[in-house]
């Protein structure tokens, strides 16, 4: 058998097949704007229910995940435009981010104050990282701190946030899009 910590063609192909298995039903059953939330729900369900099977393909999935994350970051950088466009949009975005992170900090302080026995500082810091930076930031935090037992929960929290936020945003878009007269 393959060592569990080494990516092989077999476990990478299995990870890719699982990804397609999560995307295909969402693409067939739903409208285009429901593809992302549907695929995310299928992936979360698969990772939660078939944890031992998913664990076998983790090295291959890690390689694919790193590749896709790098493509994602490169795409964001390539579509940002010119320095002038970034500087014009930068101040409003920075103010919005400051407001958003201030609310986030207040929620964390509230949670730490009123649930001190159930939420330790490590869990709060990791949840904060997943909420603000997404699953890739939470994964980096787990790796840097050696919290290998918290990798899967951190990723699930990060992707659950992506899933719920995307679903809510797409639903609101659909609602507002229909209500705008042309």
Range 134-139 average pLDDT: 87
The residue among 68, 46, 70, 63 whose CA lies nearest residue 10 is 63
Judge contact between 39 and 31, C-beta under 8 A. Answer: no
pLDDT of residue 31: 63
Nearest to 53 by CA among 4, 114, 7: 4
User: Taking 70 as the threshold, does the pLDDT of residue 32 lie above it?
Assistant: no
Of the candidates 69, 42, 41, 47, the residue with the CA atom closest to the CA atom of residue 133: 69
Whether residue 21 contacts residue 39, with contact meaning beta carbons closer than 8 Å, is answered with: no
Q: What is the pTM of this model?
A: 0.52
The mean pLDDT value of the chain amounts to 79
Predicted confidence at residue 2, as pLDDT, reads: 46
Is 170 in contact with 37 (CB distance < 8 Å)? Answer: yes
């Amino acid at each position: 058998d393959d060592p569990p910590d080494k990516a092989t063609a077999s476990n990478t192909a299995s990870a890719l097949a699982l990804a397609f298995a999560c995307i295909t039903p969402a693409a067939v059953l739903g409208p285009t704007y429901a593809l992302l939330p549907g695929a995310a729900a299928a992936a979360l369900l698969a990772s939660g229910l078939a944890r031992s099977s998913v664990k076998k393909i983790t090295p291959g999935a890690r390689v694919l995940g790193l590749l896709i994350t790098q493509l994602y970051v490169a795409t964001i950088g390539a579509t940002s435009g010119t320095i002038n466009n970034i500087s014009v949009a930068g101040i409003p975005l920075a103010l919005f981010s400051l407001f958003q992170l201030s609310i986030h900090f207040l929620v964390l302080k509230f949670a730490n104050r009123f649930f001190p026995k159930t939420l330790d500082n490590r869990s709060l810091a990791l949840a904060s990282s997943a909420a603000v930076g997404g699953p890739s930031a939470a994964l980096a935090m787990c790796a840097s701190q050696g919290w290998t037992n918290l990798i899967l929960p951190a990723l699930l929290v990060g992707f659950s946030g992506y899933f719920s936020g995307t679903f809510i945003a797409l639903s609101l878009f659909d609602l507002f899009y229909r209500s705008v007269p042309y």
